[in-house]
Amino acid sequence: MKNVIALILVSFLAVNSYAQQEEVEMKTVKESTEDDGPKGGFKKDHLFIGGGIQFSFSNYDFVIGGSPVIGYSINKWVDIGIGLNVTYISEKEVQYDAYGDLRATGNKIHQTDIAPIAFARFYPLKFLFIQAQGEQNFISQKYISGYGQPALKANYDATSLLLGVGYASGREGVGNFFYYVSLSVDVLKNRYSPYVQQALNGSVNMLPILRAGIQVPLFQGKRNR
């Protein structure tokens, strides 16, 4: 009987000790989880700012501009953001000659474009991204005659959708500083887009748009990378 009582007492003490140990371990895990911050929802350390410059030219066109942006990294594969693009374009008016070749008419077009933008970048590889960027361009244009006639001014807007690919240096995932270069074209080919070349016969040719910029993470603090 004494042996049974002793066995019960030892078992009780063992179970009690095990329960206390489990409680301590669960508390430690909980505290560790809380220290790591929220696991879902909005994370401010996924925010980033950045911006870039763009440059494009051909025999008849010159384009230069800049675009500050703010964005959010959904995960290590996807970034989204919004911004403002400001572009200046100098373009020579062209037409096709009898042989089907483009020729300058002597007239010029100067224009300034201010456009709110929204973009998404997809990273199938950490150094390679595919980008889609929508823009609503508000354009102020001056048409300069090469034959001494008064210049004509006009204001209008055009929607653009830029699709392209790019290279990112130093992006390992969420929360990295890196620079990038990209090449894209405006697939909508709106004749008033700042990213196309238009001829007098109404044809519209897409221009390659080369952009370079940086991405700077925000609110990193004690973030574990």
pLDDT tens-digit series, residues 150-191: 889 999 999 999 999 999 998 888 999 999 999 999 999 998
CA distances from 92 to 9, 105, 185, 196 (A): 98, 8, 20, 12
Higher pLDDT, 106 or 132: 132
Strand partners, 199: 94
Higher pLDDT, 13 or 163: 163
Residue 73 has pLDDT above 80, yes or no: yes
| Total residue length of the chain | 225
Are the C-beta atoms of residues 189 and 154 closer than 8 Å to each other?
no
So what's the pLDDT on residue 161?
Answer: 97
So what's the pLDDT on residue 10?
Answer: 43
Higher pLDDT, 128 or 8: 128
